[in-house]
Structure 1
Amino acid sequence: MAGTEARVLGRTGVVLAALIVLTAAAGCGSGSDEPAKASSAPGERPSKADPPRRPEPTPKPSVSVADGHDITACADGNCEIAVSEPVKIPFKGPRGPATLSVTEVGPNTVAYTVKSGNGQSKGSVSGPGQGCITVLRSNGSGNSCGGLGDAARPSPQPDAVVIQAAAGEDGTAVLQLVSD
């Protein structure tokens, strides 16, 4: 029996060796369905077979805004900017320096706080086509949040800064500050 077992084990070894050779020749072994990618060591040139690498495009807001992403454009209380992350925006309020702090931005979501003097006002919305309007006056402020419709630029009001924050489905909020 010992001779028979040796022949079976010998044949099994030959079969395993053949499978290993065939697997290596077929280029298998990564365990994924993706083709194997050649890696270049630092300083080596990629082969001509490698497709050129292109940087991934940066997501762009679904709307264009007058002042882009420039928060300094809001310093005088008049601007239209897009933000895609929390940010603090200093501006000239009816009673002096004020700050608009965007605390949350995401798809169809925006939340913010406006501080002026000793007072503050908060607004937040979540959902398609939603936004808030805050009117900041020298004697206080008021908020209104809900559907904005076409989100047209808010009208200026005497001795006030009107702030409109519209949530965008792409995770970008459009902020408009209007003063007289």
Structure 2
Amino acid sequence: MSIALAALVGSTVAGCTSSDEADGASSPERQTSHAPSARPSPGQPSAKPSVSAADGHDVRACADGNCEIAVSAPATLRFKGPAGPATLSVTEVGPNKVEYTVKSGNGHSRGGASGPGQGCITVLRSNGSGNSCGGLGDATRPSPQPDAVVIQAATGEDGTAILQLVSD
């Protein structure tokens, strides 16, 4: 695991930024998913997400801590976290770019990625959170972890990001 983590850190430094400001932060296991992407017609920006997600673009689908949505503009998702109400705020989304903040209790984490096939995973626990950003490759949907909400944000080349929240 430590060799894989070292390789991951070395290969993803240029593609993402993240910070974790919650007490008791821990590093999540690397479990990621590949988000599909599609290109809008030349010269026509997409007003709505052009990729498909299980829950479309309905942020309310995330209230229980389990959803897959597509966003093409800043959005706020309120959901049930491990320590009570939590908020995921997508602050920027664009072609191959996504930035967000997660708030739960007194803690918060920030994640961001830019570049094709890039994304971030945030594992939110009652005593803190941890981020991991970089290439998502062809991995599957993030797996649930005990007493946690796993959040994955993946960039899309057309300016649409795929957000997945998974809880146990």
TM-score, with structure 1 as normaliser: 0.66
| Unmatched 5+ stretches in structure 2 | 1-43
Aligned-partner Cα distance in 1 for 2:109–2:45:
36
Per-residue CA deviation, residues 20-65 of structure 1 (Å, 9 max, x unaligned), is xxxxxxxxxxxxxxxxxxxxxxxxxxxxxxxxxxxx8956645321
The match for 1:82 among 70, 91, 94 is 70
Equivalent-residue separation in structure 2 for 1:151 and 1:85 (angstroms): 25
Q: Which runs of 5+ in 1 are unaligned?
A: 1-55
Aligned partner (choices 136, 141, 158) of residue 170 of structure 1 = 158
Query: Which residue of structure 1 aligns with residue 136 of structure 2?
Result: 148
Amino acid of the residue matched to residue 113 of structure 2? V
Alpha-carbon distance in 1 for matches of 2:157, 2:135:
14
Q: Given the alignment, which residue of 123, 128, 138 partners 1:135?
A: 123
Which structure has the larger Rg over C-alpha atoms? 1
Question: How far apart are residue 140 of structure 1 and its match?
Answer: 0.4
Q: Which residue matches 1:64? A: 52
Task: Please identify which structure carries the higher helix content.
Answer: 1
Write the distance in 2 (CA, Å) between the matches of 1:127 and 1:96. Answer: 33
Q: Identity of counterpart residues, as a percentage?
A: 83
Alignment partners' CA distance in 2, 1:99 and 1:86? 13
Matched AA of 2:121: I
Q: Distance in 1 between matches of 2:121 and 2:46?
A: 29
Q: Does structure 2 conserve the Cα–Cα contact (< 8 Å) formed by 1:134 and 1:142?
A: yes
1:158 corresponding residue in structure 2: 146
TM-aligned CA deviation for residue 83 of structure 1: 0.3
Structure 1 or 2: more strand by fraction = 2
SS across alignment from 2:60: helix
Over the aligned positions, Cα root-mean-square deviation in angstroms equals 1.6
- Alpha-carbon contact 1:151-1:166 (below 8 Å) kept: no
Instruction: State the number of aligned residues.
Output: 125
Distance 1:120 1:63, change over 3 A: same
TM-score, structure 2 normalization: 0.71
Is this contact kept in 1: 2:122–2:131, CA < 8 A? yes
Higher relative contact order (CA 8 A, sep 6+): 2
Q: Give the letter for the 2:137 counterpart.
A: G
What residue identity is the alignment partner of 2:110? Answer: K
Q: Which amino acid aligns with 1:166?
A: A
